[in-house]
Amino acid sequence: MLVIFVAFLASQAVSDVPANTDSEFVFARVQFNMTSNWIFSYREAPWHHDYPYAEDLYLNMVKEITGVHTNSESYKVVQLDSQEIFHYPFLYFSEPGYMDLTPKELANLREYFNRGGFAMFDDFRGRALNNLQFQMKKVFPDRDMFKLDLSSPIFNTFYGIDSLDMQPPYMNYDSGKPTFWGMKDGKDRLILIADADNDLGEFWEWVDKGEMPFKPAAQSVRFGVNYLIYAMTH
């Protein structure tokens, strides 16, 4: 894996292009309705963070490590209120702390999960977890998000993860210790995973630019690959 990883450190970011339809997996990043306060904090929309550098590294690693046929152009931005989300079994959400779901988005996301879709929520800290839990409670009023531990099958699908302790790529004033959260359907299947106080996409972007030490970046890739394999096999 080290040889593969070092080779990809030199890869360059791809330009904005449509997803490659020949791929077995397309990385679908979700654009969602947000609260207005993000404007005072960021120069770009939070859902857009690390795009498309994170996609580039992650897609290449998925191809080389798992054998799933994909490539660095196999990514797409999808609108949460669009029927297009149903084309993709794995959705990626960045900065859900700013998420403010509309009625159409709520209905779409509920239907997406009910059809067997899986979502990864990434890049958020502190009280942002409260907002994600609040939004998901609107999607499924009778369900709760819960903290995951190593016994969850998602941590043993492709890689055998031996610890959930990891150092995030950076910390803000409201950062805590990284934790992992999930929600299940009626058949005891995880329908989502949330990386609280962490940012796997940032690891993937920085290592793609050659600006991240190998060890923590490799750890972030192992988590990301496990999420995808779980989503594809459960």
Amino acid at 39: I
Q: What is the domain count for the chain?
A: 1
Strands (DSSP E) contained in 139-189 are 146-147, 179-184
Under DSSP, the state recorded for 152 is S
Q: CB count, 10 Å around CB of 1?
A: 12
Q: Nearest to residue 183, comparing CAs of 123, 120, 232? A: 120
* Residues in CB range of 119: below 8 A, 6 or more apart: 30, 90, 91, 92, 93, 109, 112, 113, 191, 192, 193
Tokens of 157: 């699908």
Which pTM value belongs to this model? Answer: 0.89
Q: Nearest to residue 132, comparing CAs of 193, 216, 59? A: 193
Q: What angle do CA 40, 42, 44 make, to 5 degrees?
A: 130
Main-chain dihedrals φ then ψ at residue 166, nearest 5 degrees: -155, 155
CATH number at residue 123: 3.40.50.12140
Main-chain dihedrals φ then ψ at residue 2, nearest 5 degrees: -60, -45
* Residues in CB range of 87: below 8 A, 6 or more apart: 28, 78
C-alpha span between 49 and 43 (Å, rounded)? 10
C-alpha span between 218 and 226 (Å, rounded)? 12
Q: Which residues are paired to 76 by β-bridges?
A: 28
Helix segments in 115-213, DSSP class H: 128-139, 200-208
pLDDT 10s per residue in the chain (234 long)? 323 332 322 222 223 344 555 889 999 999 999 988 776 666 789 999 999 999 999 999 999 999 899 988 899 999 999 999 999 999 999 999 999 999 999 999 999 999 999 999 999 999 999 999 999 999 999 999 999 999 999 999 999 999 999 988 777 777 789 999 999 999 999 999 999 999 999 999 988 677 777 788 899 999 999 999 999 999
C-alpha span between 80 and 208 (Å, rounded)? 27
Residue span of the structural domain in which 59 resides:
2-233
Cα-to-chain-centroid distance, residue 126: 17
C-alpha span between 14 and 76 (Å, rounded)? 12
Q: In which residue are the tokens 């900065």 written?
A: 95
